[in-house]
């Protein structure tokens, strides 16, 4: 209660301060007369051999650019990527969060905005619109106002943009298929038969390492790491209303059909087709990636380009060095839905959420930071770096990423941890962007990337913005329900076949009773209060 009172008091004082400053121009030729100082969150992914996330070529480029363009000093604050929700919650609760925060978790923002701990940006983005041309041109009203409350007009975060809406793919060892004279599977049954062939031919495929064979791998985060399989059990013609009401969990746990998908995974697990110890290794652990690099894993589902990331340390590059030139993970599309298509449930054009804690006393400087990042030339440099250092140009003008060293190493794909307003390659020239996607991964055959990009775009269904305002029941529930979800899926997959039903149903009852059902009930009520009897959004 004391923390909430503090936030409300701060909110009132700072709102009054912002209102006064908005009545007078703070900028001269785009610059503050007095130097401002802001702190900016940046993810630390714990990359072995990576660059210092708070001090490298790109942070220096940003610092120098912001100082020159706007007279703003930028200080980066590292937050561990794999525990970012927990860390941001702790920083917000302590009143020590960076001025500019980023998270994938909207409920965290809503929880603290309800306490008065997050700045309402609605007036700010309008008041300073003329000073933010790049931000508005890039994100447009669609992303800037995506989370604006339809009832109150409050805006506590800005949704950044997915330049490439590809989500996840299934990958398989193409060289193993060739060795077994098998075609790439195109259905669940064919995928299952392939996994059985991997298991039953472990000595042929791995020789003395046959005991290390893992036909199909997932991690503790089953909802993400089996996503394309799980979502093939959803109704491809599901109404927008049903998708929204049951859609609090971004792993789609409470959508109809998920139980059947997990039951299939349970069957595969008990037949020795999956990594036995998948649930023991949590976020940030490299054990699974190391097994892929060593050549022990036959198939897996992950981010659409996952095995090709991280340059010389990518899964694909390591695999080829250790196993041979023919070794390759290639994208396949084997999980048909009830219509015989391969529906892929992608989000709208939204990605991470940026927001300003109430302790931020320089909101305009932070908005200018987002605008500076969105400047096409700045965005391009941050994504591809310097020619001859991080990329080279092919004869037809495509940007080809090359392995970097030292402070030029990018710790995330296309440097997304710095390009906060953009996730996915987006160069100044759209034609060059399209030409360059396949060349954007050092030491990876462009044909593999082309295939992955094409597969990820088959039968996509883009999410719509069912903005029904704040769902009170969601406040503060993300960590609790996410943990229960992961435990539910892990234990259900690894249960005996005989125990599957009781394990899944009991854990689901606990999940729903711990807040999940209340969230869905409130979502349904909010939908009906705004959209009435409508089942689909325009």
- What's 514's domain CATH number? 3.40.190.10
Question: Per-residue pLDDT averaged across 138-146, rounded?
Answer: 98
Q: What is the pLDDT of residue 2?
A: 46
Residue 15 above 80 pLDDT?
no
Task: Name residues whose C-beta falls within 8 Å of residue 483's C-beta, 6 or more positions apart in sequence.
Answer: none
Residue 421 placed within a domain: no
Domain match, 176 and 238 both: yes
Question: Per-residue pLDDT averaged across 465-488, rounded?
Answer: 94
Contact 437, 453 (CB under 8 A): yes
Number of folded domains that form the chain:
2
Q: What is the pTM of this model?
A: 0.91
Residue 186 placed within a domain: yes
Q: If pLDDT is split at 50, 70 and 90, which confidence band does 347 have?
A: confident
Domain match, 342 and 365 both: no
Secondary structure of 432-453 in HEC code, one letter for each residue: HHHHHHHHCCCCCCHHHHHHHH
Contact 423, 163 (CB under 8 A): yes
Domain match, 47 and 78 both: yes
Tens digits of per-residue pLDDT, 176-187? Answer: 999 999 999 999
Q: Whole-angstrom Cα distance, residue 22 to residue 29?
A: 17
Residue 469 above 60 pLDDT?
yes
Q: What is the pLDDT of residue 22?
A: 44
Domain residues for 360? Answer: 2-163+350-379
Domain match, 311 and 333 both: yes
Residue 231 above 60 pLDDT?
yes
Following CA atoms 175, 177, 181, 183 in sequence, which dihedral angle do they give, to the nearest 10 degrees? -130
Asked which of 6-15, 50-59, 428-437, 467-476 is least confident by mean pLDDT, the reply is 6-15
Q: What is the pLDDT of residue 10?
A: 55
What is the residue-averaged pLDDT of the chain?
95
Domain match, 172 and 320 both: yes
Q: If pLDDT is split at 50, 70 and 90, which confidence band does 25 have?
A: low
Residue 458 placed within a domain: no
Question: Per-residue pLDDT averaged across 530-535, rounded?
Answer: 97
Task: Give the relative orientation of helices 57-70 and 363-374 as an angle to the nearest 10 degrees.
Answer: 120
Domain match, 180 and 263 both: yes
Q: If pLDDT is split at 50, 70 and 90, which confidence band does 11 have?
A: low
Strands 399-401 and 391-393: antiparallel
Domain match, 342 and 355 both: no
Residue 414 placed within a domain: no
Q: What is the pLDDT of residue 23?
A: 40
Residue 99 placed within a domain: yes
Residue 176 placed within a domain: yes
Of residues 472 and 16, more confidence is placed in: 472
Q: What is the pLDDT of residue 476?
A: 87
Q: What is the pLDDT of residue 49?
A: 92
Domain match, 91 and 156 both: yes
Domain match, 307 and 359 both: no
Q: What is the pLDDT of residue 14?
A: 56
Question: Per-residue pLDDT averaged across 92-108, rounded?
Answer: 95
Domain match, 321 and 205 both: yes
Domain match, 211 and 121 both: no
Residue 3 above 80 pLDDT?
no
Residue 4 above 80 pLDDT?
no
Residue 15 placed within a domain: yes
Domain match, 326 and 180 both: yes
Tens digits of per-residue pLDDT, 32-48? Answer: 999 999 999 999 999 98
Question: Per-residue pLDDT averaged across 51-62, rounded?
Answer: 98
Tens digits of per-residue pLDDT, 291-306? Answer: 999 999 999 999 999 9
Residue 130 placed within a domain: yes
């Amino acid at each position: 209660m004391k923390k909430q009172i503090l936030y409300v008091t701060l909110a009132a004082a700072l709102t009054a301060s912002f209102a006064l400053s908005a009545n007078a121009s703070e900028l001269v030729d785009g610059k503050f007369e007095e130097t401002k100082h802001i702190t900016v969150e940046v993810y630390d992914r714990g990359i072995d051999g990576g660059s210092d996330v708070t001090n490298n070529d790109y942070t220096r480029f940003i610092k120098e650019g912001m100082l020159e363009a706007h007279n703003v000093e930028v200080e980066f604050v590292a937050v561990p990527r794999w525990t970012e929700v927990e860390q941001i919650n702790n920083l917000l609760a302590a009143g020590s969060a960076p001025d500019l925060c980023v998270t994938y978790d909207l409920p965290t923002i809503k929880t603290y905005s309800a306490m008065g701990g997050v700045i309402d940006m609605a007036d700010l983005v309008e008041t300073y619109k003329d000073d933010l041309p790049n931000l508005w041109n890039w994100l447009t009203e669609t992303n800037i106002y995506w989370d604006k409350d339809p009832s109150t007009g409050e805006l506590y975060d800005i949704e950044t943009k997915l330049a490439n809406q590809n989500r996840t793919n299934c990958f398989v060892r193409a060289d193993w298929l060739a060795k077994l004279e098998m075609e790439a599977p195109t259905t669940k049954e064919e995928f299952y038969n392939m996994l059985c062939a991997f298991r039953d031919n472990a000595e042929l495929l791995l020789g003395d390492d046959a005991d290390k064979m893992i036909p199909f791998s997932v991690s503790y985060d089953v909802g993400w790491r089996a996503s394309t399989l799980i979502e093939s059990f959803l109704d491809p013609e599901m109404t927008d209303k049903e998708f929204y009401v049951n859609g609090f969990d971004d792993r789609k746990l409470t959508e109809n059909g998920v139980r059947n998908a997990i039951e299939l995974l349970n069957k595969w697990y008990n037949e020795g087709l999956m990594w036995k110890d998948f649930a023991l290794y949590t976020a940030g652990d490299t054990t699974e990636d190391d097994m892929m690099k060593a050549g022990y894993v036959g198939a897996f589902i992950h981010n659409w380009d996952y095995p090709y990331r991280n340059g010389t340390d990518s899964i694909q590059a390591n695999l080829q060095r250790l196993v041979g030139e023919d070794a390759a993970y290639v994208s396949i599309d084997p999980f048909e839905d009830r219509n015989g298509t391969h529906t892929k449930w992608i989000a709208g054009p939204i990605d991470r959420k940026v927001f300003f804690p109430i302790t931020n006393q320089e909101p305009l400087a932070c908005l200018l930071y987002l605008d500076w990042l969105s400047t096409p030339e700045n965005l391009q440099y941050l994504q591809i770096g310097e020619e001859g250092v991080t990329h080279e140009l092919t004869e037809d003008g495509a940007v080809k990423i090359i392995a970097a060293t030292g402070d030029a190493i990018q710790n995330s794909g296309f440097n997304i941890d710095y390009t906060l307003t953009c996730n996915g390659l987006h160069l100044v020239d759209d034609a060059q962007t399209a030409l360059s996607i396949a060349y954007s991964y050092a030491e990876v055959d462009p044909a593999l990337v082309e295939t992955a990009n094409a597969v990820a775009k088959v039968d996509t269904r883009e999410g719509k913005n069912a903005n029904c305002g704040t769902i009170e029941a969601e406040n503060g529930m993300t960590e609790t329900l996410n943990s229960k979800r992961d435990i539910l899926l892990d234990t259900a997959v690894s249960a005996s076949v005989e125990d599957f039903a009781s394990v899944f149903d009991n854990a689901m009852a606990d999940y729903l009773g711990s807040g999940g059902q209340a969230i869905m009930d409130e979502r349904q009520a909010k939908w009906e209060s705004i959209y009435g009897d409508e089942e689909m959004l325009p």
